[in-house]
Amino acid sequence: MAGDDTSAKEDSSQKANERLTKLSSQIKPKPNQRSKSKNTSSLPADYSDVLSQINTLQKIASTPNTNNRGYIRQKQAGKLWVRERINHLLDTDTFEEIGSISGTVKWRKTGPMRETPESFVPSNNVQGTGKLRGRKVLLTVDDFSIRGGHADGSTAEKTIYMEKLAVALRFPVVKLVDGSSGGGSVTTIRKEGWSYLPHLPMYQHVVKQLNMGIPNLGAVVGPAIGLGAARVVSCHFSVMAADIGALFNAGPKVVEGATFEEGLDFQDLGGPIVHCTNGTIDNLAANEPECYEQLRTILSYLPNTGTEAPPVAPCEDPEDREDLGLRQVIPRRAARMYNPRTIITSVVDRGSWFEIGSLWGRTAIGGLARLGGRPVGVVSLNCEVNGGALDAAGSQKLTRLLKLCDVMNLPILQFIDVPGYAIGTIAERSATMRWGVELAKTYYTTTTPIFNVITRRVFGVAGGVMIGSRDPVMQVAWPSGQWGSLPLDGGIEVGHRNELREAEKAGKKEERYRELEEEYLRLMNPVRTANAFGIEEMIDPKDTRGVCCRWAGDMYGGLMRERLRDRAMGKIRPVFA
């Protein structure tokens, strides 16, 4: 029995050895496999070769080539280089680049499985995150020194990614445009070997940002062409550097071939005199540093997204501060003018008034300010231009501001002195009523709170639109208030045409007109309107700041929380674009 057990163990051991031999033959490396393993093992275990490539490319991208023709041209034009712009705009050492080595690389093989960059043309659009006065933002900056910002020097996927990232992270977006921002060039056809249909895959994400209330802020710091022009004009706010900025659909050479307009330069075609006075660009700045300061300033009034409240700042200006001078701002003679900005700067927090679009649509005044540290939109009419009658450009300007305030949850303070819509042949030819109705639609489709301070006139359709879009209306009036369907000038002639005609036959037209005017002025005493509760409350002008600050405090309390909740639930869907 013992012998049988020993024999069985030997057979089992022999079979096990045979299996091990077969298995060993299967997994034994072949000669070429040993060679491959040897090559791989010769590479650094710490990936220092790959890290060296990354560092080399990053150093090339972040170091200006002072001999490069594009860089020389950039400096000769008085413009900052792309990396200098980032350093000037953002808080120190806060920029974190995304796509730092994106671009076109020519590689040189240095050995088996080894290569090194021989030449590198970085993407001409530098993007990343950084901080603007402590606020984290997404930044995209054109590098005009590389292919003038055209698509064949850029990486389209990089731009699209950044637009998507803004939606995902809810970070404000800042765009410094100098070139075509990845727009087309005929050389792309030659490079690719075929022509392409133009498309804008990133634009759907831009529109989404605008309507979500994610601040989009743009600066024109060079020639903004084609797609570059469209990107900056699409922003919630845009500013142009007067010394170097220009914007156009196509450059002078293309224009010359299409319209035969010869001898145009950038400034003639689309400089600040053109686009800062027609509403294409909101604001004008003297130079690049002033552009960047305006971007920092306007961001301080805006939330990161429409589901947040605007940031409240500390306020050292007393909310109950009185200004006796406001009692004398409005002249007793209705035909005399005054400076409406005097009222605005007196009522809002000292130093907080930031005007938007001061060079265009000048019958209206609009901008942002603070009341007790709380950001608000501010609207006023400008009696110093066209008597304050609201024209087409003024209506467009206020429409844009109302939409901005609506998507950013900014309550609106209005100083009302409007004689009505502009009249006459120029007003008709410029489609005043068309744009006036668009303004009316905006008033009645936006939902942000509005507070009216009626300083003088409220007449006609324009007056009714501006004060009547909220229910219940929140407003006060000054003792200088005048209102009705029509101003007395012209209104008396229309309403008493036959009576005045008969008086004229008797040689007493002027006498009868004065009698009617005196009667109407007596009946139009604003106190009579208050007696009938036609105006909710009349106040002493010196108390205006206190009244407005208390209103703003109410709006930033439970009403703001309710609005943010409704936006998060989709009950309120503001539309900017």
Give me the amino acid identity at 194.
Answer: W
Question: Cβ distance 408 to 303 under 8 Å?
Answer: yes
The most confident of 65-79, 368-382, 473-487, by mean pLDDT:
368-382
Out of 73-82, 208-217, 356-365, which region has the weakest mean confidence (pLDDT)? 73-82
pLDDT at 14: 72
In CATH terms, are 63-191+199-299 and 324-478+539-568 the same topology?
A: yes
Q: What is the mean pLDDT of residues 253-266?
A: 88
- CA 565, 568, 573, 577 torsion-angle sign: positive
Out of 36-45, 368-377, 508-517, which region has the weakest mean confidence (pLDDT)? 36-45
pLDDT band of residue 5 (cuts 50, 70, 90) is: low
- CA 491, 497, 502, 504 torsion-angle sign: positive
pLDDT band of residue 189 (cuts 50, 70, 90) is: confident
pLDDT band of residue 478 (cuts 50, 70, 90) is: very high
pLDDT at 8: 58
pLDDT at 250: 85
Contacts of 338 (CB under 8 A, 6+ apart): 329, 330, 331, 383, 384
pLDDT at 16: 67
Q: What is the mean pLDDT of residues 372-396?
A: 97
pLDDT band of residue 377 (cuts 50, 70, 90) is: very high
Dist. CA 224–CA 231, nearest whole Å: 9
Q: How are beta strands 216-225 and 173-179 bridged, if at all?
A: parallel
Question: Cβ distance 379 to 364 under 8 Å?
Answer: yes
User: What is the C-alpha end-to-end distance of the chain, expressed in Å?
Assistant: 96
Contacts of 443 (CB under 8 A, 6+ apart): 402, 465, 466, 469
pLDDT at 488: 79
Buried b (16+ CB within 10 A) or exposed e, 409-435: bbbbbbbbbbbbbbeeeebeeeebeeb
The DSSP result for 128-181, as a single string, is: EEEEETTEEEEEEEE-TTTGGG-GGGS-HHHHHHHHHHHHHHT--EEEEEEE-T
**Phi and psi at residue 203, to the nearest 5°:** -70, -30
Contacts of 442 (CB under 8 A, 6+ apart): 398, 399, 402, 403
Beta-carbon count within 10 A of 501 CB: 10
Higher per-residue confidence, 313 vs 196:
313
> Tokens for 477?
């009036």
Out of 319-323, 329-333, 501-505, which region has the weakest mean confidence (pLDDT)? 501-505
32-86 pLDDT, tens digit each: 554 455 556 678 889 998 999 999 999 999 999 888 898 999 999 999 999 999 9
User: What are residue 376's DSSP bridge partners?
Assistant: 369
Give me the amino acid identity at 449.
Answer: P
CATH topology assigned to domain 63-191+199-299: 2-enoyl-CoA Hydratase; Chain A, domain 1 (3.90.226)
Q: What is the mean pLDDT of residues 252-281?
A: 91
Residue 437 has pLDDT above 60, yes or no: yes
Out of 30-34, 55-59, 110-114, 572-576, which region has the weakest mean confidence (pLDDT)? 30-34
pLDDT at 406: 98
Q: In angstroms, how far is CA 483 from the centroid of its own chain?
A: 36
| Mean pLDDT across the chain | 90
User: What are residue 174's DSSP bridge partners?
Assistant: 139, 217
Domain borders along the chain are: 63-191+199-299, 324-478+539-568
Dist. CA 463–CA 461, nearest whole Å: 5
pLDDT at 30: 56
- 341 three-class SS: helix
Dist. CA 310–CA 559, nearest whole Å: 13
> Tokens for 315?
């306020």
Residue 29 has pLDDT above 60, yes or no: no
pLDDT at 569: 94
- Cα three-residue angle 551-553-555, rounded to 5 degrees: 70
Residue 146 has pLDDT above 60, yes or no: yes
Give me the amino acid identity at 523.
Answer: L
Question: Cβ distance 523 to 491 under 8 Å?
Answer: no
Work out the percent of the chain whose per-residue pLDDT is above 70: 91
Q: What is the mean pLDDT of residues 321-325?
A: 97
Higher per-residue confidence, 17 vs 480:
480
Dist. CA 490–CA 459, nearest whole Å: 12
Residue 508 has pLDDT above 70, yes or no: yes
Q: What is the mean pLDDT of residues 337-358?
A: 97
Q: What is the mean pLDDT of residues 230-239?
A: 96
Dist. CA 25–CA 9, nearest whole Å: 25
6-21 pLDDT, tens digit each: 565 566 667 767 766 6
pLDDT at 205: 94
pLDDT at 53: 92
Residue 439 has pLDDT above 70, yes or no: yes
What does CATH list as the number for 324-478+539-568?
3.90.226.10
pLDDT at 78: 92
Contacts of 388 (CB under 8 A, 6+ apart): 363, 381, 382, 417, 418, 419, 457
pLDDT at 252: 87
Question: Cβ distance 234 to 206 under 8 Å?
Answer: yes
